[in-house]
Amino acid sequence: MGRGLLIFIAGMFIVVGIMNIGSQQRTLSSEQEMSENVHYKLAFNNAMSAGELAAQDIMLNHANYTSGGTYNITFEEGPAEVDISRQGNIFTLVSQAISNGVIAEMQSRYFWESDAFIPDVHGAIGIYSENLNFNVAGNAFEINGNDHFSGGGINPEGNHTNGIAVNYDPIKTYIEGELNNQQQDNIEGACGTPCIKTIDADVSAFESAIEFLAGQADEYHTGYFTAAGEGSLGTPENPKIIVVENGTLELSNATGTGIIIIRDNGELDVRGNLDYYEGLIFVQGSAKLVRGNVNIYGAMIFGGLDPELEIDIDLRGNVHIRYSGEVIDYLNSSLSSRFSGRLTLLGHYY
């Protein structure tokens, strides 16, 4: 064998060796890629499962997610975390899971829907009883059924309603007879001036709402109770449901957001200022708004299923009761997270 042939054969061995090394590297690279793909799929499936489990937990423990939160779970392949944020009735769930160091992430959006707990409101004031004592003194009051923004100003695109809505014609006639011409001009709404209208209201819906909301009360008072100071009746971040039964709720320089329920034999007594209140006030007893400044955005509803329920309304202060659909929608949204409801999937985003 000549020297040249030996050199050729040796070169061939080197080339084959290099090719084998390259092949082995490609095999290792391919195996690593396949492994990463497998673990990514495992992590992605776990991220999807974690999001679904978080959604179930929101429905079962909705009070824990009023403003969002975090849900954690550990699968056999590794941990997963779901970051939960909420804007109005929309929940956004960002899920992240790990498998063998490989991370997968996905996002889901859900619409929160709770059973209706606020009935249709037909006026800035609704009076649903045949047994009414109605007293108004002076002209420094306003009852306005035009839809207002929270904090003031008429919403030109809002759903305007009545100033005062009643469900018995004799009550409408009685109220009109208690008002002089200037006082009648202070009652405005969709039906003109004065805007006092007889409607066919589903009074059972009010009664059901009162019973349901009373069972969810943040505060339940019997006897005499005074609310005074800023936020004493709740805040936009934490609206309060306050119930008074067989007692008196006295308001003195109070502000708040939420729902007030005055049960039969109860009394709402504004002796100082109700500087600013956003919400609904249900009264099945008496309401005395007789001193100071009263500013209510939302609505007041008087009466219930019993047509003989005795209702006393005394307006003598600088009283402004303005219907606000924005406030009512906000209460529906903010309070609904406390009650049972359903999540409807809007979509998954990868």
What is the tens place of the pLDDT at every residue in 13-60? 454 454 554 555 555 566 677 778 888 999 999 999 999 999 988 887
Among 57-66, 170-179, 195-204, 332-341, the minimum mean pLDDT is found in 332-341
Looking at residue 77, the DSSP 8-state letter turns out to be T
Residue 285: name the closest of 301, 304, 263 by CA. 263
What is the DSSP-derived secondary structure letter of residue 348? Answer: E
Amino acid sitting at position 6: L
Highest mean pLDDT among 10-19, 211-220, 234-243: 234-243
pLDDT digits (tens, 9 = 90+) for 50-60: 999 999 888 87
Residues 157-177, mean pLDDT to the nearest whole number:
96
How many Cα atoms sit within 13 Å of 340 on the Cβ side?
Answer: 1
Tens digit of each residue's pLDDT (9 = 90 or more) over 287-318: 988 777 899 999 999 998 888 888 999 988 78
Look up residue 264 and give its two tokens.
Answer: 């039969």
How much is the pLDDT for 89? Answer: 78
The strand ranges marked E within 115-174 are 123-128, 131-136, 141-144, 162-166
Residues with Cβ within 8 Å of 142's Cβ and at least 6 positions away in sequence, in order, are 186, 188, 319, 320, 321, 322
Write down the pLDDT at residue 26: 53
CA distance 55 to 95: 11
Instruction: With H, G, I as helix, E, B as strand and everything else as coil, classify residue 139.
Output: coil
User: Residue 301 corresponds to which amino acid?
Assistant: I
The gap between the terminal CA atoms of the chain, to the nearest Å, is 66
- Number of neighbours of residue 158 by Cβ within 10 angstroms: 15
